[in-house]
């Protein structure tokens, strides 16, 4: 990551012209001499907050420090109204549109579709006074953030809010927008209707088989079959009667699920796992994706869980203590923009590693990058607000942030997605072995050649 990437990403997330234009359009700014909207928005996004102070207190402190104006707390909180919430929502939409236009990286088994998309939701607990606006089930009040994560870009490309009481499934609709893409769906979104939608709109899917579903086998394409069975036989019965023999082998079969007009056809694969067999449903062709490739594809759905962790640990999404609906929405959008900034920087750095054939350089770690940005929020705020910031300053900031954010365990524990993207490198020599090979010998001032490097032995 260099200064150009850092500057372009910050300008895309916090566009000064758009902020000023939309703020005047929707009435955020009434008197410009009283409110510097660009500095306020930048302070909200770059402020992650803490358990002690909170995001709004941190944002107010940074805003006062940069403007030099004396602002009382009541006046600052008065700015957090519905108009500012609309502005933050507009900025988040523009940032997600920018992320969706970045080039996707889909090598190997990820190819064959325009992009792979994962869906999930995360719940944020709110104060009891907001129970009427955001009713919840386990607690008095809460809000759900429904997210769509592009796995080819590693970025959130769509999201919306709902009361925490509502179920996840109605908030996902497979339509023309997903034509030509692939979706990785959690059990909370799985239904026969969703499978029909994928088939109707030419969407590839990989999902887990629900325990309550009873697939009926029409044909076994892979696996050992001992005996004969009629097409439409119950899959569980075939396993129990040992007509389909597992013994550590993979199974690939065509199945029917549901009855009558609700019935759907799908491809069922079984692969052995550490704690038993894993069963998936998919419509990917067998010519390009075998059972184990299907399992690897579903495993990268975990990337959205890692992105949820970034929201809550890196952007402090679960530390919202606001008492009004507008303040809640402002903080939610600001924190999601903070996480999106981190994801875009990581994706652009990965593209640079691939294009420059420097995949052996360690990738940026989500949480470490979020912490590095928070630690340098003041120089970042000054740089983004000043058009005269030199390229050397941007390069210096980018180098300092990247040095702190490189993943120290990328050689030893690469993620499933890193392996599929080809962003791995051989493991280095153990540290103890390096020290042992460079240990001084009995003869002083002896020079030895070890692994192409010179170890100078000093008495």
Query: Could you tell me which residues come within 8 angstroms of residue 181 by beta carbon, excluding any fewer than 6 positions away?
Result: 113, 114, 115, 116, 117, 203, 204
Q: Kindly report, residue by residue over 303-330, the tens digit of the pLDDT.
A: 999 999 999 888 888 888 888 888 889 9
CB 37 within 8 A of CB 316: no
Q: Where are the domains of the chain?
A: 108-214+249-303
Give the model's pLDDT for residue 290.
92
**CA count, 13 A, side-chain hemisphere, 47:** 25
How far is residue 80 from each of residues 33, 47, 106, 160, 217, measured CA to CA in Å? 17, 15, 41, 20, 58
Query: How confident is the prediction for the chain on average, in pLDDT?
Result: 83
Has this prediction a pTM greater than 0.75?
yes
Give the model's pLDDT for residue 75.
67
Q: Give the tokens for residue 346.
A: 């990581």
CB 22 within 8 A of CB 93: no
CA 95 to chain centre: 14
Measured from the Cβ of residue 159, the count of other Cβ atoms closer than 10 Å reads 19
Q: Which residues of the chain have pLDDT under 70?
A: 29-34, 48-77, 356-360, 425-459
Q: Kindly report, residue by residue over 140-151, the tens digit of the pLDDT.
A: 889 999 999 999
DSSP 230-296: -TTEEHHHHHHTTSEE-TT--EEEEEEESSGGG-EEEEEEEEEETTEEEEEEE---TTT--HHHHHH
Q: Kindly report, residue by residue over 82-134, the tens digit of the pLDDT.
A: 888 899 999 999 999 999 999 998 888 888 899 999 999 999 999 888 888 89
List own/partner pairs for 258-262 with CB under 8 A and 24 or more apart. 258/192, 262/192
Instruction: Give the chain's radius of gyration (CA, Å).
Output: 26
Separation CA 342–CA 95 (nearest Å):
12
DSSP 205-219: EEEEPPTT---EEEE
Separation CA 233–CA 212 (nearest Å):
17
Give the model's pLDDT for residue 218.
93
Provide CATH code, domain 108-214+249-303: 3.90.350.10
């Amino acid at each position: 990551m260099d200064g150009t990437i850092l500057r372009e990403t910050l300008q895309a997330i916090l566009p000064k012209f758009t902020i000023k234009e939309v703020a005047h359009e929707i009435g955020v700014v009434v008197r410009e001499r009283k409110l510097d909207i660009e500095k306020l928005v930048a302070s909200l996004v770059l402020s992650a907050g803490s358990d002690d102070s909170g995001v709004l207190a941190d944002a107010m402190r940074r805003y006062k420090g940069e403007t030099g104006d004396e602002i009382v707390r009541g006046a600052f909180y008065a700015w957090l109204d519905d108009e500012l919430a609309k502005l933050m929502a507009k900025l988040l939409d523009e940032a997600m549109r920018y992320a969706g236009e970045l080039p996707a990286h889909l090598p190997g088994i990820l190819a064959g579709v325009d992009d792979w998309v994962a869906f999930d939701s995360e719940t944020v607990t709110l104060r009891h006074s907001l129970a009427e606006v955001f009713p919840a089930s386990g607690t008095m009040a809460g809000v759900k953030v429904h997210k769509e994560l592009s796995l080819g870009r590693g970025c959130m490309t769509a999201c919306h809010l709902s009361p925490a009481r509502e179920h996840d499934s109605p908030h996902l609709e497979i339509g023309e927008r997903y034509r030509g893409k692939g979706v990785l769906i959690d059990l909370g979104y799985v239904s026969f209707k969703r499978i029909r939608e994928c088939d109707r709109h030419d969407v590839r899917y990989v999902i887990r088989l629900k325990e309550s579903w009873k697939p009926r086998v029409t044909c076994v394409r892979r696996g050992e079959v001992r005996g004969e069975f009629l097409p439409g036989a119950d899959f569980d019965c075939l396993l129990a009667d040992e007509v389909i023999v597992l013994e550590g082998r993979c199974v690939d079969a065509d199945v029917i699920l549901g009855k009558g007009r609700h019935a759907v056809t799908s491809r069922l694969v079984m692969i052995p796992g550490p704690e038993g067999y894993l069963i998936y449903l998919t419509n990917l062709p067998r010519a390009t994706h075998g059972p184990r490739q299907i399992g690897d594809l579903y495993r990268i759905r975990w990337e959205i869980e890692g992105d949820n962790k970034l929201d809550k640990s890196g952007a402090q999404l679960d530390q919202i203590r606001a008492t009004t609906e507008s303040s809640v929405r402002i903080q939610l959008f600001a924190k999601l923009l903070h996480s999106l900034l981190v994801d875009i920087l990581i994706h652009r750095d990965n593209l640079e590693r691939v294009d420059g054939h420097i995949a052996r350089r360690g990738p940026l770690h989500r949480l470490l990058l979020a912490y590095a940005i928070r630690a340098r929020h003041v120089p970042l705020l000054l740089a983004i607000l000043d058009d005269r910031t030199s390229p050397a300053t941007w390069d210096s900031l980018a180098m300092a942030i990247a040095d702190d954010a490189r993943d120290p365990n990328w050689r030893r524990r690469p993620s499933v997605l890193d392996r599929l993207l080809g962003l791995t490198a051989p493991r280095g020599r153990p540290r103890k072995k390096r020290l042992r090979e460079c240990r001084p010998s009995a003869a002083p001032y002896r020079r030895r050649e070890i692994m192409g490097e010179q170890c100078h032995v000093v008495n």
